[in-house]
Amino acid sequence: MTRAVIEIENLSLLLEGQTILHDISLTVPQGARLAIVGPNGAGKTTLLKCLVRLLHGRGTIKLLARKIGDYSQKELARTLAYVPQLDGQSLPFTVKEFVLMGRYPHLSPFSFLGPEDHRIADQALVLTGTHAFINRPLDTLSAGERQKVLIAASLVQGASILLLDEPMAFLDPQHQVEIQRLLERLNREHGITLLTVTHDLNAAIAYSTQIIALKQGTLAFTGTPEAFADNRVLEAIYRQRFLFTRHPRTGHPIALAEV
């Protein structure tokens, strides 16, 4: 039986008097590709932030059977890595400098980056296809290139769980495909568990092993992509009817919003 890497029980979060998450319970097995979907403002990003302790709610969250409150910040970063949304923020670093920052959780006090840290960073840059612009400033990269660098920085943390907040947003089709293939490879060849927030329902259906949908801070659906690709399910979540067809090559369901 595949072990659970994340266990959430009765997670609720109240911010400024507003309920953002309400009584969320969820188990994520090792090696899963979990898609987190739902309307704007449903609590998707908030859920990820609770997992990395940027926000603190009521309830229990366990990583590898340990409560997240029992982890030091460095231990948590070695277990779980967070790739936030692209926000256009200026970052005055080269690609290599930025990726090396991901080695911080492995440094002891007063120690410095060594040859092994550089080797691991170079390996992540090669894996993500970003080694060619290793010395370029981050601010000169395209959105797709920058997203790959963010993923490279998360990989050098050595974490076995990767949280991604809309990794395909603002990317052209070519970079969307490249990022998706990279994530599939990390999952398949390196055993990394993926939790991905996305608004792309068809990507969620095609590439995930498990889907959860949030609506107004509650868990509105949890199940397989096949069960999710149902008009009754989607209409209940989005208050919108959908039409369905099949991908001509893979046979995956494709959901089209009815207009």
pLDDT tens for each residue of 219-239? 999 999 999 999 999 999 999
pLDDT digits (tens, 9 = 90+) for 118-133: 999 999 999 999 999 9
Task: Set out the domains of the chain in order of their start, with CATH numbers.
Answer: 4-257 (3.40.50.300)
The predicted model gives 69-93 an average pLDDT of 88
What pLDDT was estimated at residue 89? 74
Pairwise CA distance, residues 205 & 190, whole Å: 22
Which two tokens mark 120? 């691991």
SS3 content of the chain, % helix, strand, coil (to 5): 40, 30, 35
The predicted model gives 192-218 an average pLDDT of 96
Which two tokens mark 28? 């994520």
User: Full-prediction pTM beyond 0.85?
Assistant: yes
Identify the residue whose tokens are 């997992």.
Answer: 51
The predicted model gives 135-143 an average pLDDT of 91
Percent of the chain with pLDDT over 90: 79
What pLDDT was estimated at residue 169? 85
Interacting residues of 199 by C-beta distance below 8 A, sequence separation 6+: 37, 166, 169
What pLDDT was estimated at residue 2? 80
Query: pLDDT at residue 86 above 80?
Result: no
How long a stretch of residues is the chain? Answer: 259
Pairwise CA distance, residues 28 & 206, whole Å: 18
pLDDT digits (tens, 9 = 90+) for 166-175: 998 888 888 8
The predicted model gives 192-205 an average pLDDT of 96
70 contacts 63 by C-beta, under 8 angstroms = no
Query: pLDDT at residue 30 above 70?
Result: yes
Identify the residue whose tokens are 């995930």.
Answer: 208
Q: What is the mean pLDDT of the chain?
A: 93
Which two tokens mark 43? 């609590």
